[in-house]
Amino acid sequence: MSKSSGVIADRSEAEAFFKANPDVDSIEMIYTDFGGVPRGKRLRQHEVMAVYDSGRMFPGSITVVDITGQDTVETGLVWEDGDADRSMKPIPGTLVRTPWGGDNAAQFLVDFYELDGTPHDLDPRHVLGGVIDRFTADGLTPVLAVELEFYLVDPRRARDGSLRPARPGYSRDTPRNVEVYGLRELDDFRPFFDALYAATDVQDLPLESAISEFAPGQFELTLRHKPDALRACDDAIMYKRLVKAIAQSQGLEATFMAKPFAEQAGSGMHIHVSVDDTNGKNIFASDDPEGTPALRHAIGGMIGSVGDGFAIFAPHANSYRRFKANSYAPVAPTWGVNNRTVSFRIPAGPPPSRHVEHRACGADA
């Protein structure tokens, strides 16, 4: 069992939450599948307590549904095993209110386990936990931050059925100019961003800076780095769901599609990674802008394995439309210092901040 991901939330966590929030009685239990889609059940308060006691049975086929929610029968996890139940168990620190859902709404994340308590080998979080365990065995701790680009789009389609960027509340005109880093573009959607930051504060998500990106209606916000890769990824999962929900509450629609517009920039997920030793020192830190030998070895490993990872980095047909020369989406397994055209970028900054920005993933990963 992974020592990292195999940690199950204790009943006392749920008891403390409901003591502080006795009115909450509509709670969503969320498992995130390979396609990044949240799936699960909506429960009452007393049902949640039972999950924290002994887990909740759920069909194992949910681990292998496709992006449309259809069973992938070729896996052998549907008819061959009778779509047998596995157990969902709560992830620590994820039971939080969902402000967009009303005054009595909350959510928590879950992991999948076999009935004997073994972590399910197709649960993405358990796979990550196994990787972290290998770092831990070597006395190392990955430090991770996630940046996600997304579009705000008009929920009403154009006459031809196509998507169009969201319009500010004061205007009937669809934005057409790129306006990268434009502050007016942030001001145009201030109610959305104000509600977004307020909701992330409620859920204790470390959301920081926001920018207008390289297309009309495209934005990027940053989640603060932390020396807990599992929690950083949990934050990103919760954040994506929150963005979509807040957008809907504001009469907008948010999409993390890799390429929603053929002639505009694609949306990426940029993962910033460094590694600390047992003393909390960044092993990539160096006065040399190219970092330490450990950093260059790490980049070599990433380059050597990037092709094998594309089923995860670009999981859908639309994902591949993002990769286009001169579009800020990398098209070759390259690296460089202070260079946004490469797959693995070493950002400029002081020596203690030296790290890799992994730029291959789409926002749909």
DSSP letters along 54-117, please?
H-EEEEGGGGG--TTS---GGGSSSTTTTT-EEEEEEPTT--EE-GGG-TTEEEEEEEEE-TTS
Intervals of CATH 3.10.20.70 along the chain: 11-122
Find the mean pLDDT for residues 47-52: 97
Q: For residue range 158-217, what is the model confidence (pLDDT) as tens digits?
A: 889 889 999 998 888 888 899 999 999 999 999 999 999 999 999 999 999 999 999 999
Answer whether residue 20 shows pLDDT above 80.
yes
Mean pLDDT for all residues in the chain: 94
Q: For residue range 67-106, what is the model confidence (pLDDT) as tens digits?
A: 899 999 998 889 998 999 999 999 999 999 999 999 999 9
* 105-113 and 26-32 beta bridge pairing: parallel
**CB-count exposure of residue 20 (10 Å: 0-12, 13-18, 19+):** exposed
Find the mean pLDDT for residues 6-24: 96
Domain 11-122 has CATH 3.40.50.920: no
Res 34: pLDDT: 84
Q: For residue range 275-310, what is the model confidence (pLDDT) as tens digits?
A: 999 999 999 999 999 999 999 999 999 999 999 999
Answer whether residue 14 shows pLDDT above 70.
yes
Q: Which residues contact 301 (CB under 8 A, 6 or more apart)?
A: none
Banded pLDDT at 5 (limits 50, 70, 90): confident
**CA pair distance 71, 106, nearest whole angstrom:** 28
C-alpha distances in angstroms, 363 versus 14, 26, 120, 145, 193? 32, 29, 25, 14, 19
- CATH number of this structure's domain 141-358: 3.30.590.10
Res 1: pLDDT: 60
Strand partners, 89: 111
Answer whether residue 2 shows pLDDT above 70.
no
- Contact by Cβ (8 Å): 212, 186: yes
Intervals of CATH 3.30.590.10 along the chain: 141-358
